[in-house]
Amino acid sequence: MNGVVRLTRSGPVVSGSDEELSRLRAHFEGRHYLALPGFLDPALLDTLRAKLKASDFARIDRAVGSELRPLDSAPYFALELLLNSRRVLELIPRLTGCPPVACFTGRIYRRAPGESHVSRWHTDLNEDGRMVTLSLNLSDELYRGGTTLLREAATGRVVCELPNTGFGDAILFPIDPRFEHRVLDVEGDAPKTALAGWFNSKPDPRHLFTRGAAGANSPPPSSA
């Protein structure tokens, strides 16, 4: 997957032959995930690292679990803008076989060891037409645990274990009533910081690029 898509500070760089993209789509459809090593350009990673290091975090409790969110929302907004590039939105159906993508929405979160930051089994399905989940590792220290598990909803059989511990690496997996997922507890000393979000079939006029100055220091208003 290296080199097929990379996000830089000036926008996405997309490459790969039709044959390569078809092979990756077959992997996604057969294995229910796709790894994107080196998804973020090193220069962009350096910028995000500095902003997240300087930000305070606030605890958020949700139906599917608890976590921390950065009070400085600039890192998320920068990634949201890049991930809503036309080139990225057009690439996702070619990689996953999903219908056309209208937009990307998500959040940056942190889970720390020993802080009761839990993640319960869930599907990510909602009224916004979520089709594919993107998980992007923003942890510049190697954390332990924090692995994403994907299981069959009907049987409980785990079909994927996705650790994704490389700084700037990403994974894609499907949003489908057949599958549930959760993130295991983080262990050791280093926290896990990540962007989690969704490629959606419907536009999001409630949030996308409309938050304005009043919400500039608030966590992104994602419900899951």
- pLDDT of amino acid 208: 52
DSSP letter string, 162-196: E---STT-EEEEE--TTEEEEEPPEESSPPEEEEE
8 Å CB contact between 173 and 160: yes
- pLDDT of amino acid 128: 83
- Residue 200 in 3-state DSSP? strand
Structure pTM? 0.88
8 Å CB contact between 198 and 132: yes
- pLDDT of amino acid 63: 78
pLDDT at 183 over 80: yes
In 10 A of CB 158, how many CB atoms?
A: 12
Mean pLDDT computed over every residue of the chain: 88
Alpha helices in the chain (DSSP H): 18-31, 42-54, 74-83, 86-96
Q: Work out the average pLDDT over 40-44.
A: 94
- pLDDT of amino acid 144: 92
pLDDT at 167 over 80: yes
Question: Which pLDDT band holds residue 109 (cuts at 50, 70, 90)?
Answer: very high
Question: Which pLDDT band holds residue 206 (cuts at 50, 70, 90)?
Answer: low
- pLDDT of amino acid 205: 62
8 Å CB contact between 122 and 224: yes
Report pLDDT digits (tens) over 186-199. 998 999 999 999 99
* Residue-range domains of the chain with CATH: 5-204 (2.60.120.620)
- pLDDT of amino acid 209: 52
Q: Work out the average pLDDT over 133-155.
A: 95
